[in-house]
Amino acid sequence: MLASYLCENGCTPKRGERRHNDPDEKKREYFEKYDLGKIREIKESEIPYWYPKDRMMHAPEEQECWGVKWRAGTSNFRTVDELFTKRNLWALAAYLETTNKTELFQDFLLFVFTSILFKSSRMMAHNKDGIGRIQKGTYYIPQISHDIHVGKFMQEALGDMLSGYSQITLKKSNLLISSSDSRVLRIPTSSVDYIFTDPPYADTVQYGELNFVWETWLDLDTNWHDDEIIVNAFRDKTEKDWETMMMQAMTECYRVLKPGRCVSLCYHDTSEGTWALVQDIMAQAGFIVEKTDQAVYINSATKTTNQYFSDKVTKRDLVINFRKPKPGEAAAAILLTGDEDKTTFGEKARRIVRDYLGAHPGSTKDRIYDEVVSRMVRKGQMEAHNFDELLRSAAEEVKTPVMKTLFEPEEPNLFGTHEISRWYLKETELVLHDDAENAREEVAAEKIGAFLKDFLGKNPGDEGVHYSNLFEFYIYAVTDKPRRQLTDLLPDYFYTTEKGTWRLPASEEEERAKRDARARGLGRRVKRYLAQLAQGAFIPEQERPSDATLAEWIRHCKRAGLYEQGKLLFEKGGLNPDALSEETMVDVEEDYQVCARMLAREASEPKRRGRRTEE
């Protein structure tokens, strides 16, 4: 044992030390008489102030191990007060009682108190440089403890806090700090501009256990431990519980965030399985990953012992941005978990290919591959599967020569750079044969139809409903969303007005026209054909639409509000008006004029801004 003392009466040296085995006989005598004497006096006395005597984590008396952070020998204290020497326990209790009697600045002084609490405990290790340090993120009582002077540390902490508060005062603004349940936020829907969150990752940081000492000293209610989002075997909190509660919290984040705005998620866990769950949770909540050119990290000034020495711990925190989709966007709904058998994997991957090529016909193989892999929650899965075989099961390859000049193609070469390979959905894939997905689209359309009817009933002067209103309704009312974007879904079921708003089919004939178009995959066929034209792909004669079919497609585009597609079909689709009947020729000319006129109007008019909550 070593005692360090200060001389306050002008003697020299001002600071000194003495030990139980000090070579100086007088120092040994003083050590025994004064230092050990004072320690014996404190031990034999009763502390006249309140201090916490709670069993750690309120564990039963007969239970030695109180939690994940319990360790035999290094953290086997049973109650909160056992974590402190009686000398420092007395000093802390005295300070706390005085603070609790102080009405002015009480919160500020309690904040100072908590800042030195662990430094005043037996966890403060004595180092060779004479400075005491504690290990963060754990309860570790070293072989040699550094028993600090509580009053001195309190004085130094008070000075630091005053300096910090003076800085905050200069920059203060309206600020609310709440410790409410993140799964039930009392915040209006679509009202938040930005969220930064550093959530708990499984069992990595045991917040409840590590906060327990602070909370008992402050005499706080610890019933929140039942709702803690954590994996803890001693409290029967499983990974499934963690996943469920995290999903609830992230769903709330999605609800309160404005469309198009981001949540930054700080990730520092080392478990690939946990990251897989996080990706699943964010996708299921409705978020999409914000794409960036480089990773964003936070380097913390202080690190845990594991961060310094372990090769299995993240050295810094990775920040991933997830965005709440803007109107017209959709989150990736199909995820490959890595647990599928070959057949299930193939079916899921094929759906991803079909959805992607349905939206992006004529994509190159590498783009399609990237899309499939981006839906995987674990890396390296594709190695066990034949991607070429999978791709060819849903799409067909069309090779287009690279032109050396306007009229001369490049010479063939071994590297294949003389031609571009693009992929298009097979004819058989243009019509959706997924019963579950068909059902989702039908249910979504039914709900949207009911909303249209209700909205127009309450607003009889309106011909249709603006897209922004439909999108807002769709996000929150359609819980089991189809994979297709809303912008692709609406034209298959509803009609547009001349003002660009959406309305219900006005007759049985219009209803039947939409139903027939869906049955033939008309929207996908038009998009594929236009992509083939734009990319100069070779189109077999048997796959070229007839003049009558082109006229039908142009009418479909006009009615569905796909004006640009309708205009392109008329101008570049290869339509021969002379091959049509006079009546059909007049109709298609009129449909084309409507498309051209609507495009001109859209170009000249400023776009309508949505409600403030949608920005």
- Lowest-confidence region among 131-135, 504-508, 514-518: 131-135
Average pLDDT over residues 265-285: 68
Residue 33 has pLDDT above 80, yes or no: no
Residue 400 has pLDDT above 60, yes or no: yes
Tell me what pLDDT residue 98 has.
Answer: 93
Residue 381 has pLDDT above 70, yes or no: no
Average pLDDT over residues 504-519: 87
Tell me what pLDDT residue 543 has.
Answer: 72
Long-range contacts of 485-490 (CB under 8 A, 24+ apart): 485/328, 485/329, 485/330, 485/359, 486/327, 486/328, 486/330, 487/328, 488/358, 488/359, 488/523, 489/441, 489/444, 489/445, 490/448, 490/560, 490/561
Tell me what pLDDT residue 308 has.
Answer: 36
97 band by pLDDT with thresholds 50, 70 and 90: very high
455 band by pLDDT with thresholds 50, 70 and 90: very high
Percent of the chain with pLDDT over 90: 18
Q: What is the pLDDT of residues 155-176, one digit of tens each?
A: 998 888 888 877 776 666 677 8
Q: 423 near 557, Cβ under 8 Å?
A: no
Tell me what pLDDT residue 433 has.
Answer: 59
Tell me what pLDDT residue 315 has.
Answer: 41
Average pLDDT over residues 314-319: 57
Architecture of domain 192-323: 3-Layer(aba) Sandwich (3.40)
pTM for the predicted model, two decimal places: 0.48
Residue 615 has pLDDT above 50, yes or no: no
Residue 319 has pLDDT above 50, yes or no: yes
Is beta strand 192-197 parallel, antiparallel or unpaired with respect to 257-267?
parallel
Tell me what pLDDT residue 611 has.
Answer: 35
- Lowest-confidence region among 148-152, 424-428, 572-576, 578-582: 424-428
Which H helix or E strand runs over 598? helix 582-604
Average pLDDT over residues 62-69: 78
Average pLDDT, the chain: 80
Q: Which of 2-6, 289-293, 348-352, 487-491 has the highest mean pLDDT?
A: 487-491
Residue 314 has pLDDT above 60, yes or no: no
Higher local confidence (pLDDT), 586 or 517: 586
Residue 405 has pLDDT above 90, yes or no: no
Tell me what pLDDT residue 432 has.
Answer: 59
Long-range contacts of 372-375 (CB under 8 A, 24+ apart): 372/336, 374/332, 375/332, 375/334, 375/335, 375/336
CA 498 to chain CA mean position, Å: 40
Tell me what pLDDT residue 318 has.
Answer: 67
What type of residue is 208?
A: G
Tell me what pLDDT residue 328 has.
Answer: 60
- Lowest-confidence region among 180-189, 196-205, 270-279, 585-594: 270-279
Residue 299 has pLDDT above 70, yes or no: no
- Listing DSSP states for 21-77 in one string gives T-SSHHHHHHIIIIIHHHHHHHHHSPP-S----PBGGG--TT-S--STT-BTTTB--
CA-based nearest residue to 262, from 355, 329, 316:
329
Average pLDDT over residues 70-74: 72
331 band by pLDDT with thresholds 50, 70 and 90: low
Higher local confidence (pLDDT), 332 or 151: 151
610 band by pLDDT with thresholds 50, 70 and 90: very low
The alpha helices in 218-341, defined as continuous H runs, are 239-256, 272-285, 305-309
Average pLDDT over residues 25-40: 80
Query: What residue spans define the domains of the chain?
Result: 1-34, 46-171, 192-323
Q: Running DSSP on this structure, what letter comes out for residue 224?
A: G
Residue 217 has pLDDT above 90, yes or no: yes
SS3 at position 400: strand
614 band by pLDDT with thresholds 50, 70 and 90: very low
SS3 at position 20: coil
Average pLDDT over residues 99-108: 88
Average pLDDT over residues 33-51: 84
Residue 252 has pLDDT above 80, yes or no: yes
218 band by pLDDT with thresholds 50, 70 and 90: very high
Which whole-number Å values give the CA distances from 321 to 187, 271, 282, 401, 411, in the listed order?
A: 21, 19, 11, 40, 45
Question: Rounded to an integer, what distance in angstroms lies between the CA atom of residue 120 and that of residue 153?
Answer: 9
51 band by pLDDT with thresholds 50, 70 and 90: very high
Residue 310 has pLDDT above 50, yes or no: no
- Lowest-confidence region among 116-130, 370-384, 540-554: 370-384
Task: Give strand pairing partners of 421.
Answer: 399
Higher local confidence (pLDDT), 172 or 536: 536
Tokens coding 582 = 């006079």
Residue 8 has pLDDT above 60, yes or no: yes
